[in-house]
Structure 1
Amino acid sequence: MVFGLYSMPTLTPASKSTSNAKSNNGISFNSAFIALIFTFLLMAFTMPSFIQRLFRPMSTTMGVTASGGGSPRAAVPEGAEKATLGAGCFWGVEHLYRKHFGGDKGIYDTRVGYTGGDSTNPSYKQVCSGKTGHNEALLIYYDPSKVTYRQLLEFFYRMHDPTTANRQGPDTGTNYRSGIYFHNEEQEKIAKEVTKQANEQWYKGKIVTEIVPAGPWWDAEDYHQLYLNKNPWGYECPSHFLRPFEPLEQK
């Protein structure tokens, strides 16, 4: 008879699998943690623009709105001319024009606002609904001795996509349509010439920019004026950039 015989357990493959599982779980946990940190950092850098884009139609509409030709911020001397253009979200349109033609380069002042609609004194929220027919637009006061209307229009066709109807980048709706709103017959003539040349030399798709007389103008709320100057990290439509086209050949 054998008393007190005790058999020590041996390491089985199952025990080894358990050990490996714990190790793998540790690796999985570390990978998940790293992924979480990466996602958090990415959101930290992109969230301001994302939030601006998501809630843009619900932005404040409590600013002062003016009718007629708009009230320029800067003193505009006699002899200044006006250009009215629509190229999608007016935040980025104003920002690009002031960046390239501001200071002593020809632009005296700009206003963002609404034109081309049926109702009077529309709010931003009403325009974004698409029910008023208005377009988000930029009103430019410029010095024709320093920058010509043709130059402003060539820049216009470089800085946005005029081949997409009622859309710029992710922004869709009639209030984002491409439009040139001329103030006299000479501007109408130049607009049609530049549009024809841009369609022949720059774009494969058909340009859908509307070219119509400038109608009543309504200043957008103060919140929207010089928006990207006041909010450098604010939303800017991704289709707003200068295309590296060769200069237009005038035939």
Structure 2
Amino acid sequence: MKVQFLILTLLFSSFTISCQNTTEKNKDLEREKQNNVSAIEVPEENGLKKAYFASGCFWCVEAIYESVNGVEEVTSGYSGGHTENPTYESTNTGATGHAEAVEVLYDPNKVSFSSLVDVYFGSQNVTQVNGQGPDRGSQYRSIIFYQNQEQKKSIEEKIETLNKNLGNKKVAAEVYPFEKFWKAEAYHQDYEKNNPNNPYIQNVSIPRLNAFKKQFPELLKQNN
């Protein structure tokens, strides 16, 4: 029996290591690809701009940005990977390179891109690698997407400032040129609003949102 248990343990360990190695290889491929692509700038429409962020579960991030004054709409989706038409199931394998992300439609006359980046760092554990809170894996990693050099410079300056105060730790967020955003399945949209009694929403998403609200009351919409 012990021999069988040992064999099963070794097989499971080999499988786990294999999965981890595959995920790391995919991440390395993504980093290499990002160094060779140019950022795509999304055209402004009716005075509104779009920004893209990945910071753990998109249910949480969507609710946070929707509470910010000047934000008109937030859409959950996927970005940062190398496959076409990613789905929730395929992204969760870690093999697509995509992360759960949000598209933030905002009024630049009410809130700046720089402030949206402040919201980003102010609503997450900035040093957690490959996830936020209980959500772990490359699909939950932190990425800020820039659309031009001005945005990239702003992001990098904020990261540099944060790193100076982190001691031996470093900001985990990666900085990628924006290429494409894939909208997630319909049931993921406004998930926190539509599923307030879901255990994950009650125990993870809402506490994260409330912590952000407490820290940045000046950025909130009046009805929040």
TM-score w.r.t. the length of structure 1 is 0.62
The residue aligned with 2:112 is: 148
The residue aligned with 1:87 is: 55
**Deviation, structure 1 residue 223:** 0.4
Q: Conserved in 1, the CA contact under 8 Å of 2:71 and 2:106?
A: yes
The residue aligned with 1:199 is: 163
Q: Conserved in 1, the CA contact under 8 Å of 2:55 and 2:131?
A: no
1: CA distance, partners of 2:72 / 2:181 = 18
Larger Cα-atom Rg: 1
Matches within 5 A, 1:1-251: 77-99=45-67, 101=68, 105-201=69-165, 203-204=166-167, 205-234=169-198, 235-236=200-201, 237=204, 240=208, 241-242=211-212, 244=215
Identity %: 37
Q: Conserved in 1, the CA contact under 8 Å of 2:80 and 2:99?
A: yes
Q: Conserved in 2, the CA contact under 8 Å of 1:150 and 1:194?
A: no
2: CA distance, partners of 1:141 / 1:194 = 22
2: CA distance, partners of 1:180 / 1:118 = 17
Provide, for residues 205-226 of structure 1, a one-character-per-residue CA deviation record: whole Å limited to 9, x for no partner.
2101100101221100000001
The residue aligned with 1:53 is: none
Coordinate RMSD, CA, aligned: 2.2
**Deviation, structure 1 residue 118:** 1.0
**Deviation, structure 1 residue 200:** 2.5
DSSP 3-state at the match of 2:84: coil
Q: Conserved in 1, the CA contact under 8 Å of 2:54 and 2:140?
A: yes
* Structure 2 portions without partners, runs of 5+: 1-39, 217-224
Aligned residue pairs total: 167
**Deviation, structure 1 residue 129:** 0.9
Provide, for residues 33-77 of structure 1, a one-character-per-residue CA deviation record: whole Å limited to 9, x for no partner.
xxxxxxxxxxxxxxxxxxxxxxxxxxxxxxxxxxxx9xxxxxx95
2: CA distance, partners of 1:227 / 1:244 = 23
**Deviation, structure 1 residue 79:** 2.5
2: CA distance, partners of 1:97 / 1:89 = 13
2: CA distance, partners of 1:200 / 1:232 = 38
More helix by share: 2
Provide, for residues 77-105 of structure 1, a one-character-per-residue CA deviation record: whole Å limited to 9, x for no partner.
52211110011000011011112x1xxx2
2: CA distance, partners of 1:77 / 1:167 = 32
